[in-house]
Chains A and B, each alone.
Chain A
Amino acid sequence: MLVVLLAYIVPVLLVVSNSLKPESDILSDPLGPPPSVTLHNYVDAYQRMNFLGSFVNTLVITVSSVVVICLFGSMTAYFLTRVRWAPNQFVFYLMIVSMMVPFQVLMIPMIKILGDLGLLNQNWIIVYVYFASGVPMAVFLYAGFIRSIPRELDEAATLDGCNRVRTFFYVIFPLLRPITITIVVLDVLMFWSDFLMPFLVLRRPEQRTLTLSTMAFVQSHTTEYGPMMAALIMSVIPVFLAYLFLQRHVIDGMVKGAVK
């Protein structure tokens, strides 16, 4: 297993090793270990990309989007799968099919409309756009999971005097924890490193996300590989640590609770 993992993370290891080298060594000997370890790239990148500011922006955008998607996505999936009603079917399939639309079809009309409404200057618009574009996948995954939960559970709750809202929040939602974790992880993966949407929607320097700041080192004829790779590592480490922490303290516990 460790061997597979090592093979798998070779690209990441290359990034780490090169981020510790001076620029000229990256180009002359990209594969070898750093001749002498220097943190220069990290210091340089940290200062030039306004790391803390970018980090906070990325964190706020990612967490807000994920929370909104999980909350409303699970509610939507619950209603769409539990209530046999023609409009439900329609909305469900509309969402599924929409996941196959190339973003290119939507891009220009979307920013034109948002721009005409004057919404592109609002910080929250990117969360709204992520919500709109991320909710279909969440509904799709939640729906698959909810179908496996026996309807008898809902019925029992109703007999106990719960209405649909209480049934969902007190009985069903807690059962959705495993799939919620999956969706959280998938969405964090997508939003944390997304380039295109922040690039299209965020214009002011103080709004930059980590990926936008990192891309500042990537340019057409010359790329500053050293600072770029250092910036990448610095962007990934917080999520890596957060995952390790959550894995140990939250995920394992929740899954155990869900299975038994």
Chain B
Amino acid sequence: MRRRELIALAAATLLAGGCSAAGSGSPSSGADGAVGFSGFVGGPGILTQTEDAIKAFNKENPRYEMTFVQGQLNQPPFQQLLTMYASGNVPTIFILDAPDLAKVADKVVDLSDEKWVGEEYPWARQQGTVGGKVLGAPQSATGVGFLYNRKLIEAATGGKFDPSTIKTRSDLAALFAKIKKAGTAPLLVSPLSWSLGSHFLGKLYDAQGDDTARARFVSQLKAGSADLADNKVFNGLMDTLDLMLKYNLNASKPIAGTIETDGKAFADGKAAFWFMGDFQWPMLQAMGVPAAGDGYGIIPVPISDDSSDPWNHKIMATSAFVMAIDKTVNTPAQQKAAKAYIDWYVQSASGQDFMVNKAGGVPAYTNVKLPVSNPLGRSVAAALADNATYSPYMGLPSDHGAVLGDVLVKYMAGKLDRAGVAKAITGYWKSQK
């Protein structure tokens, strides 16, 4: 008896599965003849906000019916695009890191004639451009440097803290020494390869000069002819790293920190500075930093003692992600709908509200006048307005951050010296084709 019931239950479940299989995949036409298309557009930390934004977009644009594609957000979007392209199930519009744009150049729509291109900051347009064509629209800008906690600094030094006075490494060292003397830890260095490899070591290439100089440096590295031991930028960067490690809150156990423990320590006021980016604001807020965030900001990472060195004064600013539109499996009507989404995002009041207020982004478009809600982002936005930012070099291989970030973590652990780091970097580049 009992067994028969079980079998009946199983059969019923099977049937239920069979019946619901009638639905089809990514629909090209939604209800009421609206154009259906799909978007893989939620960046880290803003999944719910993105779903809400899409609902708002659909409501305001009854001609389109956008569905949301959930990514695996602890992995770079490009890795997920590989499986999406392999399966032929490609969202109409998707996000990716700007350096990956070149790899999909033959698969995405040329956006050069879109209206919002005229609104982009020059650096933003440059990052979304491959071979003279605009292929990607930045979601927002993000900046990297030393996050600071003004209250803590001022309490330790007893004076007013003016970020613009930090013009050289020595200025920074003097400030660190003063803070430490007052019994406060000057800063936190997190042993995270993505942070150190991409955001810190990236400056090795960036600070070589303009794009031509950067490319020349990289080709020398590949050819094995670059000598890092004599390279001014490399040594300057390593001197700064040594300074950071000397004043690190976790100097006694330098590689034990995690993003959570270090974030918590910074939020709790255990250290005055933290080498990170403005994208960490939502976490700091969750850890108890007041939403207003008064007194928090970002300063650049100085790499020399020359107060006129522009690389000491500029924050690295880049597009958090760029949005691109697939043309290989999505119909022209769907591509048009996806363009309408970008227009909505950049131009409409609710799109901008999502960009700036809900997602906490720093606008990469000059027409967006809303005040930035993310306090760290305000530093970035101010630097953008002052032209005090630089774009990172876009030609780094995708495993650069992971591989050479590990090398710097090893250096932090004391298992490698400066010559060892130089050797690892040159070895890495020589193995690149």
Q: In the complex the two chains form, is A199's CB within 8 Å of B18's CB?
A: no
Q: In the complex the two chains form, is B25's CB within 8 Å of A120's CB?
A: yes
Q: Which of B44-52, B177-185, B213-221, B395-403 contacts A (4 or more CB under 8 A)?
A: B44-52
B21 within 8 A of A: yes
Q: In the complex the two chains form, is A124's CB within 8 Å of B2's CB?
A: no
A151 within 8 A of B: no
Q: What's the Cα separation between A212 and B13 when bound, in Å?
A: 21
Q: In the complex the two chains form, is B67's CB within 8 Å of A124's CB?
A: no
Q: Which of A9-17, A108-116, A138-146 contacts B (4 or more CB under 8 A)?
A: A108-116
Q: In the complex the two chains form, is B44's CB within 8 Å of A123's CB?
A: no
Q: In the complex the two chains form, is A115's CB within 8 Å of B89's CB?
A: yes
Q: In the complex the two chains form, is B83's CB within 8 Å of A219's CB?
A: no
A177 to chain B, nearest CB (A): 10
With A204-B26, A219-B44: A127-B83 Cβ-Cβ less than 8 Å: no
A215 within 8 A of B: yes
Complex contacts, B75 vs chain A, CB 8 Å: 220
Which residues of B in the span 79-108 have a Cβ within 8 Å of any Cβ on A? 82-83, 86-89
Q: Which of B13, B86, B88 contacts A64 (CB 8 A)?
A: B13
Complex contacts, B283 vs chain A, CB 8 Å: 221-222
Q: Which of A20-28, A162-170, A231-239 contacts B (4 or more CB under 8 A)?
A: A20-28
A244 within 8 A of B: no
Which residues of A in the span 88-104 have a Cβ within 8 Å of any Cβ on B? none
B223 within 8 A of A: no
Q: What's the Cα separation between A201 and B288 when bound, in Å?
A: 39
With A60-B16, A204-B25, A204-B26: A218-B67 Cβ-Cβ less than 8 Å: no
Q: In the complex the two chains form, is A123's CB within 8 Å of B83's CB?
A: no
Q: What's the Cα separation between A48 and B13 when bound, in Å?
A: 25
Complex contacts, A218 vs chain B, CB 8 Å: 73-74
Q: What's the Cα separation between A115 and B260 when bound, in Å?
A: 39
B279 within 8 A of A: yes
CB closest chain-B residue, reference A127: B17
B293 within 8 A of A: no
Q: Which of A120, A123, A208 contacts B23 (CB 8 A)?
A: A123
Complex contacts, A31 vs chain B, CB 8 Å: none
B245 within 8 A of A: no
Main secondary structure of the interface of A (DSSP, over half): helix
Q: What's the Cα separation between A220 and B286 when bound, in Å?
A: 15
B238 within 8 A of A: no
Q: Which of A61, A205, A208, A212 contacts B67 (CB 8 A)?
A: A205
B432 within 8 A of A: no
Identify the interface centre among A61, A199, A203, A208: most chain B CB within 10 Å of its CB: A203
Give the 7 A-B CB pairs with smallest separation, nearest first.
Answer: A121-B25, A115-B88, A115-B87, A111-B87, A123-B21, A219-B73, A220-B44
Known: A204-B23, A219-B45. 20 other contacts (CB 8 A): A24-B287, A24-B288, A27-B260, A48-B48, A60-B20, A116-B88, A120-B89, A123-B20, A123-B21, A124-B21, A199-B72, A201-B87, A203-B89, A204-B25, A205-B70, A220-B74, A221-B45, A221-B259, A222-B286, A250-B6
Q: Which residues of A contact B (CB under 8 A)?
A: 23-24, 27-28, 48, 59-61, 63-64, 67, 107-108, 111-112, 114-116, 118, 120-124, 127, 199-201, 203-205, 208, 212, 215-216, 218-222, 249-250
Q: List 18 A-B contacts (CB under 8 A).
A: A24-B286, A24-B287, A108-B86, A111-B87, A116-B88, A118-B88, A123-B17, A123-B23, A124-B17, A124-B21, A203-B25, A204-B25, A208-B70, A216-B73, A220-B44, A220-B74, A221-B280, A221-B283
Q: Which residues of B contact A (CB under 8 A)?
A: 2, 6, 10, 13-14, 16-18, 20-21, 23-26, 38, 44-45, 47-48, 67-70, 72-75, 82-83, 86-89, 259-260, 264, 279-280, 282-283, 286-288
